[in-house]
Amino acid sequence: MDITYLGGSGFQLRGRDASLFVDPSATPDRRANARAVLMSGYGTEPAVDVGDARVISRPGEYEVSGILIRAIRTSRASGDDASNLGGMAYAVAIDGVTICHLGHLSRALTTAEVSEIGEADVVLMPVGGEETLAPNLAAQVATQLGPKIIIPMLWQGEVERSVTEAPSPPPATEESEAGEGEETAPPPAVETVNVPSLEPFLRELGIRSLTPHERLSVTPTNQPATQQVSLLLPRA
């Protein structure tokens, strides 16, 4: 399944047979075959036309075109305005991969919420922006859920790019002399990015740099052995 970042808290999750959107800010392309739209605000409706897609913004368990969706209401953080009805988090199982979208969460999860969300392979984490998780709380939530992949969302600021030349290949050995005369292509350069607003969170996890992705493809068998942070660049 493929994950595309739409900016803010918006994502497209595309499986083999169908896709869904979370917090879309533009009308989904008809070719995307969107079957469901998830809203991170409790009881809210999309601000754009989503066609025949099913809108979900309240707690419960749903199945849409073979996609399993568990919707969890997250209580308000202490100090929130009483008119704030709270938000929604979602655990979405699609093509054997479970993705958790934490909405606009700004505090650690409760034990009950962790239990409701269950195991998640990928967590879409609100961090690095206004009214998002503080770096230490984001690291705590990462520990609570234990995903293999964390994708930041709602982060703000510029993306600083840098290109690092890959290390040169080792000197030729006797075994490789047989192929003397054949030119070996140099290894490709590696592009990394730095997002200043995410640096405190990355330090909490001991991560120094990020590799940018336009889209992330995740399967049950291609996940990293240890937890990593993947930066998705918003789709234009």
Residue partners of 187: CB distance under 8 A and separation at least 6: 166, 167, 168, 169
Instruction: Give the pLDDT confidence score for residue 194 in this predicted structure.
Output: 79
Give Cα 105 distance to the centre of its chain.
Answer: 14
**pTM score, whole prediction:** 0.85
Contact 216, 151 (CB under 8 A): yes
Instruction: Give the pLDDT confidence score for residue 11 in this predicted structure.
Output: 97
Q: What is the DSSP string of 14-69?
A: E-SS-EEEES-SSPPPGGG-EEEEE-SBTT---SS--TTPEEE-SSEEEEETTEEE
CATH of 2-159+200-232, one of 3.30.70.260, 3.40.50.300, 3.60.15.10, 3.30.70.580: 3.60.15.10
DSSP 145: H
Averaged over successive runs of 10 residues, the pLDDT of the chain (236 residues) comes to 96 95 88 90 92 95 97 72 72 98 95 96 95 94 97 89 63 57 60 84 90 94 95 88
Residue partners of 198: CB distance under 8 A and separation at least 6: 127, 128, 152, 155, 210, 231
The length of the chain in residues reads: 236
Instruction: Give the pLDDT confidence score for residue 141 in this predicted structure.
Output: 97
